[in-house]
Amino acid sequence: MDGPGTSLRTSARRLRAWGICLLVMLWPGLLAAQEAGPPRITEVSVTGLKRTKQWVAEKPLQKFIGIETAALDPQEVRAAVLAEGILEPLEVDIVEEEGGWVLRVTVREKWSIFPLPIIKGDSGGWSFGGFFMDNNAFGMNDKFFAGGTYGSKAWLVAGGYMHTPMVTNMPGWGLSFSFSRQERRDTDPNALDLRVFNLDSIRGGGSLNFKLNDYLALSSGVSYSNKMLKDSEQAVNAPEESAQFLELSAGASFRRSSWDGFFLSEERVQTGYSWTAGFGAPSWHRISLMAGWEKSIVPGFRFVLKGGGAWAPEIPVLGESSPNEAQVNILPSSFVARHFAGASLGLEKHLFKFGFGSLSLFASWQAIWTEGSVLDARFDHGPAGGVSLYLSKIAIPALAVGAAYNAAADYFQLSFSLGMSF
């Protein structure tokens, strides 16, 4: 006969058995809840595409996968889309679907196929022309251009194609070609002629670029150019002989973008090295740097710091170029140098927003050090400013009107551009 102790032991065994069964049933759910934590983005989706490939549109958004939904900044999402230059973000949503949370972005494709007029003018002369552009060739964010310009001192025809890789960890590539005929006038900071000669130039080249992550990229390239001197009665201090050049180059760049609702601002650094073999001219090495830092103070009002430099010992006259990499415009466009280093410190304010774009006002103080084959080392500085029109459906500043004053040279110049520059 079983006593009270036996009955209690039986009840305890049954209770433990039920407890174990309940724990086994609940354990997967408890474990999943512990592992899940706060909800995170598991997938991205882009809607509104017509021509652009789905993978192209979603590629810049992949970096948001794994981010907590509560920590996601919609402005960072818009900046990532805008930085690609082919899409305009309209809506940013996070929706729960079976299996996880989806970052869904509704976009409108920008104009990618268009004829682009080009009009430029400053103290160095004027030029006009046009190019046929496709900024989203085959819907893969590839770039194609072909066209030409004619000006007071030169004419140019050029074309090129840049390919964005379809597969992750594969390099992109680019090909370009140009022919120009010009009356080259190298001037001092007051636009007075130092050297004058006529020149035909043929150039062709190719490049490879490899994107390491969302911010870092490497590049390499090779190009051939033939610079042919032409007889001219107006020649002054002209080079003695024509020459051909073969250039090998390598570079690295960093770029990060942000969006404040008015401006797409960037932090960027680009470094480069090239070695050029001269045939009929000396060979030389060149090191260059370009950088920029744009920061929104309040939405629609930003601080802009940019600059750059180059060092090219033994570069021949035919290899000298305008110091555009210094990102200053207080010098005439016809000014050339061997070595230079410059910077521009300024502000830009959004003025008006229209259905087709927005207008902004900018002002800066610029400074640049240069040294050339004719002019000794010198330092120039002064203010610059103007207005820019940004088109919302085309990712380039379409119109810019500016003025600059070189205080060191006591030289004032106006500039106007429509389209883009090469």
Which one has a higher pLDDT value, 43 or 20? 43
The whole-number average pLDDT for the span 4-12 is 53
Closest CA to 158 of 167, 168, 150: 150
Classify residue 48 as exposed, middle or buried by CB count within 10 Å of its CB (0-12, 13-18, 19+): middle
Contact status, residue 410 vs residue 116, Cβ threshold 8 Å: no
The whole-number average pLDDT for the span 380-405 is 82
Q: Which amino acid is at 23?
A: L
Sign of CA dihedral 72, 74, 75, 79: positive
CATH topology for the 41-109 domain: Ubiquitin-like (UB roll) (3.10.20)
Q: Give 111's DSSP letter.
A: P
Domain ranges of the chain: 41-109, 113-418
In the chain, pLDDT over 90 holds for what percent of residues? 55
What predicted TM-score, i.e. pTM, was given to this entire model? 0.79
Residue with tokens 């036996």: 6
Tokens of 297: 């103070």
If DSSP codes are grouped into helix, strand and coil, which group holds residue 268?
strand
Classify residue 139 as exposed, middle or buried by CB count within 10 Å of its CB (0-12, 13-18, 19+): middle
Confidence of residue 8 (pLDDT cuts 50, 70, 90): very low
Q: How far apart are CA 265 and CA 304, in angstroms?
A: 9
CATH number of 113-418: 2.40.160.50
Instruction: Please say if the pLDDT value at position 338 is more than 90.
Output: yes
Instruction: Please say if the pLDDT value at position 348 is more than 90.
Output: yes
What is the pLDDT of the chain when averaged over all its residues?
A: 86
The whole-number average pLDDT for the span 359-365 is 94
Q: How far apart are CA 241 and CA 227, in angstroms?
A: 9
Q: How far apart are CA 214 and CA 154, in angstroms?
A: 39
Which one has a higher pLDDT value, 346 or 169? 346
Most confident of 8-17, 148-157, 240-249: 240-249
Contact status, residue 323 vs residue 306, Cβ threshold 8 Å: no
Which one has a higher pLDDT value, 235 or 101? 101
- Give pLDDT, residue 211: 87
Confidence of residue 414 (pLDDT cuts 50, 70, 90): confident
Instruction: Please say if the pLDDT value at position 157 is more than 60.
Output: yes
